[in-house]
Structure 1
Amino acid sequence: MFKRVLIANRGEIALRILRACKMLGLETVGVYSKADSDAFHLKHVDEKVCVGPASGSDSYLNIENIIEAGRITGADAVHPGYGFLAENQDFASACLENDLAFIGPSPETLKLMGNKAEAREAMQRQGVPILPGLTSSDLNESSALKLADELGFPILIKASLGGGGKGMRVVKDRHELVRALPLVKAEARHSFGSEEIYLEKFLEQARHIEFQILADKHGNIIHLGERECSIQRRNQKLLEEAPSPAVDDHLRKRMGETAVKGASSTGYETVGTMEFLLDGEDNFYFMEFNARIQVEHPVTEMVTGIDLVVEQIKTAMGLPLELNQNDIRIEGHAIECRINAEAHSRDFMPSPGDIVRWVPPAGPHVRIDSHCYHGYHISPNYDSLLAKLIVHGRNRTEALRIMEQALREFEIEGVVNLIPFHLRLLANPDFIAGDYNTGWLEQHLAALT
């Protein structure tokens, strides 16, 4: 059992983890950069430690400093949140070597799932459907062109160690493929420290559907249904909902069982997410596995009533799941809008600055996950997420109405933000009908600005 948890992150997820720890009666340690000394969650932790300057690479990615913070504060576990070091196998290993439990997968699992090409092959061996493609061991210009001739364009080039929507490029003909191969390798080397890439057939007009996995150290593993994540710009999610408008009970059962089978084959023992692409004929294909808590986890919590972060901590302590698959009920509909400090009319340019007015919405079935407050400074050093606005309704129509009103009540001044964008999105007939895919937003951006 844990007594004190170090929260190795910042922003809204740090506050979310703190609340889960308090629910379990655990003490907390906050780490922060010099740019984050006024972070809201630091007012509520039991102890706090500065781990470096504003640059994320020198603070929130500084493994040595974070481990030392855990040592001097007497922490016995570390929760990495999402982003930064959440899926870093070296960090997980360093925690274990220093008698700090890592609230996440084992280093071995992180290594497997962190390499998307290897994860893809591992899932294929378990019978999980994948898109046809070519991994790095056999990849050169000649083999890439041969694959493209066999499959037809478009082809997706992906960095094996990529993540967060980075390290991906779609090519539409032989010339683009030849030109893009060295460029993507260089991008991968610069961003992820490895130029390993792989190719797969690009599935046009597909939906991005992900399944929430919950597992423990005793071999128990279940899924908590799906999330619809197809509203994306440049592979970055902007709105999520659960359940998906495109997934019926039969398809949910098929996909959920496949997700559990794939995760179980790796010995998975915590919270994770299996991501699929879904075509118009209800065929689905493994995309990747995220071995961490997801940004969009609240929509699953809203429709299942299960606190995923609490469950994540409990399973890390070695406690068995108190739920089985038959206990899971998807009730109603939840939607999450990511309120970023960005100007959607200026190509989603980040808008750092000081918040001079902050009035979040309230009311039944409305939830705000945010670290912001009146007077808070939005730093250009980190991501632009201000808040996640989440609502729940008895059905999708009701959830859309609640979300529209919540967005209209939400007042933010001082930084440009995505509230106007989300209001336009919610008014779009295609979106109202649930008729969209991963390419839809890029095609309709002009009408939404």
Structure 2
Amino acid sequence: MEIGEPAEQKGYFDSAGRQAAVLSSLPLLGTYFSRGFREKLREPDGGIARSGEASQPEGLEQALAGLRLRAALAAGNKLAEILEPVRDRPNFRYTVERRESVGSLSGKLDVTRWLARKREIQVPESYPVLRVERSSRTPENLLAAYSLLWMILEVEESYAGSAAPTNSREGKAVADLLERLEHLMMSANLADHRAELSIIGTQEWAWEVLEEVESRISAGRVGGREAYESLINWIRRTMSSTPALEYGDAEWLFYDSSFDSTLFELWCLVMLGDTISEALGQERQVPDMRTSSQVPSYRWISAGSEITIRFQYNLSNTASGGKVAWQRKGSKLGGRPDLTAVVRPAESAGAVEHSSSVVYIDPKLRKRDRVPTEEIYKMLGYFLNSGAGLAGLGVILFYTPHITPQPVYEFTSEEGGRVLAIGLDPERPDENKAGLMSLAGLILQQAELP
């Protein structure tokens, strides 16, 4: 049992800062958005526990659930706008179907089948005929129906994972969007394909059909081409390993300020991961967000050292001797730094060892005109409770859209302890580089890396 920390007053992004943070954090969603409809049916929870289950998501999974839901709401509303013209002006093609006309000849006689039959008196007489019928089973309509079914399932999955109440703003937005998408799915040119797509609708199939539709559009064989061109663009930008939004797509973003604090933490995680990868000369990593929260979000091996970054890792996991110093009536005074970097010899896989170097990192979405003293004292509390004491290593990341250049404050102790306080702004990536490199440098120095 642990004693929880009191809820903190949350800060808020400026509008431009929020959008920049969203765009930078979207790669974290790639493991959700790169699955096809059939694959999603086979993994109905998408790796996130649904509301009401015994095991609810926590840590990074819980934070990602909120971002995933908002991305799904944004993409779903955009898809509905694209497909409403398709519903109003459905695409179709004519096919020749073999039918039987009973009692009288109604249609063109299928002479080949008629001559092949044994001549027997039938009452009433039945005639094989060929009929030209209009069919909605075009590659374009299959692709549109696939996109709708995929989006409906993504909204349902992400909403279940987020555990947002039904009467919350997100819950109401989900209900409105699902009603809109299901209404589109009921249109005559799309509804008949639901069962078929649950069997054939893989990601590989979707991309093959998309290329076929592009070829048909180029050949002038598709009516209402503008809507289908928009659909193709939506699919390429949304159903990919990195769902893409661009500046100017503000209408895609479903956001209120309640998620800003978590968004800042996710953005800091991505920026730190990218900065360390660049410093080590290694490829950029994209964590699989469907794995257990106990698995590191990032992991590098370099020069005989293992470097890991974990999201909201319990303080007791890195405390000296595996336990925190303070407790009350047998209950541990716990804590979860938002990010924890651990450096150890690469061969020492397993639990964090006493000889490992640990850097605690706390992003705080609060605007500060000067040194964030309150947050620094909280970091010193982590040092005391974990047993690191005056030799502890920690970093505070805070939001500074109003300060140029971005500040970097450093505090040291005679015992080798260091605390950095670094100002960051998602809207100004170039100005963030110096502070992020200072943070990455503090971590890499523990592995005696440059």
TM-score w.r.t. structure 2 length?
0.22
Larger-Rg structure: 2
Q: Write 1 or 2 for the structure with the bigger share of strand.
A: 1
Structure possessing the higher relative contact order (Cα contacts under 8 Å, 6 or more residues apart): 2
TM-score w.r.t. structure 1 length?
0.22
